[in-house]
């Protein structure tokens, strides 16, 4: 049995597509609605480290309160940026997926294919109509 966790926002198309790609591999993941139940400080720090990205790279920029707080300013250190993400979980970019093969920020949603422990079971088309997986369960490379 494979353990997969997705930090999910059902209002986000990329997050919904990622969740469906996981399910298309036959895995029902643990779904964490992170806006309702944000990760702890320790969990967030571990996710960032496991993804191998900077704290700033996880910040979602096109939402409030990013601009209001002037988070594009270099004055904020990682600890302060994490404080903001914990106080305003909407600032955490998504979806984050954790599997036995790794942890990734899955933007675009197809990034999840790199860490899924099971193959795709059939065709998959994103909400915008882009076909990602063919009838044989193979990724379509454009």
Q: What is the pLDDT of residues 117-140, one digit of tens each?
A: 999 999 999 999 999 999 999 999
Instruction: Please report whether residue 49 resides in a domain.
Output: yes
Measure CA of the first residue to CA of the last residue in the chain; give whole Å. Answer: 32
**Range of the structural domain that residue 11 is part of:** 5-133
Instruction: Please report whether residue 26 resides in a domain.
Output: yes
Instruction: Please report whether residue 63 resides in a domain.
Output: yes
Instruction: Please report whether residue 126 resides in a domain.
Output: yes
Clarify whether 106 is annotated catalytic.
Answer: no
pTM, rounded to two decimals: 0.95
pLDDT reported for residue 142: 76
> How many domains does the chain divide into?
1
Strand 30-33: give its sheet, edge to edge: 30-33, 5-8, 96-99, 102-105
Q: Cα–Cα distance between 119 and 139 in angstroms, integer?
A: 10
We report the CATH number of the domain holding residue 112 as: 3.40.30.10
Instruction: Please report whether residue 140 resides in a domain.
Output: no
Instruction: Please report whether residue 37 resides in a domain.
Output: yes
Six-digit token string for 15:
């997050």
Instruction: Please report whether residue 38 resides in a domain.
Output: yes
Instruction: Please report whether residue 142 resides in a domain.
Output: no
Catalytic position from the list 6, 8, 9, 12: 12
Between the alpha carbon of residue 128 and those of residues 15, 25, 41, the distances in Å are 13, 20, 34
């Amino acid at each position: 049995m494979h353990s997969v966790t997705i930090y999910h926002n059902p209002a986000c198309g990329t997050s919904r597509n990622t969740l469906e790609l996981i399910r298309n591999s036959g895995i029902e993941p643990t779904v964490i609605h992170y806006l309702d139940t944000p990760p702890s400080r320790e969990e967030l720090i571990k996710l960032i480290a496991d993804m191998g990205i900077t704290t700033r790279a996880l910040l979602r920029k096109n939402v409030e309160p990013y601009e209001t707080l002037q988070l594009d300013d270099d004055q904020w250190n990682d600890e302060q940026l994490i404080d903001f993400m914990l106080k305003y979980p909407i600032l955490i970019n998504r979806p984050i997926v954790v599997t036995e093969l790794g942890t990734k920020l899955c933007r675009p949603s197809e990034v999840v294919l790199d860490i899924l422990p099971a193959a795709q079971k059939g065709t998959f088309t994103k909400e915008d109509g882009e076909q990602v997986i063919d009838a044989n369960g193979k990724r379509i490379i454009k």
